[in-house]
Structures are given as structure tokens and as C-alpha cells.
């Protein structure tokens, strides 16, 4: 019985460390129930798109960066406090 408790404690500690590493970088990826790719950690809710939508968006990365630079004064920033 004590060995079971010790092994469960070790498993939970390892799982906790893995979760801490994920939250340290702030973002995580998961596959949604419907097969989309969800990005967690950007806001209160995940951003979920299908594979082809993500690929289109990633292809536009340079355009998005240029747009942000060109419209810097009109865009707001959100202060994101790190999670404890």
C-alpha cells in the first residue's frame, strides 16, 4: 500500500513538473475534439483553427508583421501578467 502511494506521488510530481514547463513558456498546443489545432495561453479561450486555416495564416506571417508595424500607433497592447 505504501509503495502504491509513493509511486502515485512520484507520478503526480512528474506530471506537475511537465505542466509547469508548459505554462512557463505560456503556450500549448492540443488537438480539439473536432480535429482542429488549438493554441492555449493567448487569452481566456483557446484559438482553434483547422490545419489548412493555420497554414494560410502562417503563410501570411510576414504580411501580419508588416501590418502591425505600419499600424503600430492604432493598435493596442495587452499587458499579460505571468501566471503564478
- Residue 76, pLDDT > 60, answer yes
Cβ atoms of 39 and 25 within 8 Å: the answer is no
**Based on the structure, what is the number of domains in the chain?**
1
pLDDT digits (tens, 9 = 90+) for 8-67: 888 888 877 776 665 556 889 999 999 999 999 888 899 999 999 999 999 999 999 999
84 belongs to a structural domain = no
Q: Which residue has cell 503556450?
A: 27
Helix count (H) and strand count (E) of the chain?
3, 3
- Partners of 28 in the β-ladder: 40
8 belongs to a structural domain = no
Q: How far apart are CA 31 and CA 38, in angstroms?
A: 6
pLDDT of residue 26: 85
Residue 50 belongs to domain spanning: 26-75
1 belongs to a structural domain = no
Amino acid at each position: 500500500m505504501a509503495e502504491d502511494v509513493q509511486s502515485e506521488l512520484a507520478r503526480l510530481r512528474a506530471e506537475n513538473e511537465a505542466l509547469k514547463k508548459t505554462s512557463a513558456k505560456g503556450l500549448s498546443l492540443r488537438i480539439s475534439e473536432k480535429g482542429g489545432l488549438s493554441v492555449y495561453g493567448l487569452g481566456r479561450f483557446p484559438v482553434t483553427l483547422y490545419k489548412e486555416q493555420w497554414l494560410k495564416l502562417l503563410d501570411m506571417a510576414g504580411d501580419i508583421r508588416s501590418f502591425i508595424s505600419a499600424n503600430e500607433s492604432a493598435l493596442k497592447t495587452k499587458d499579460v501578467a505571468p501566471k503564478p
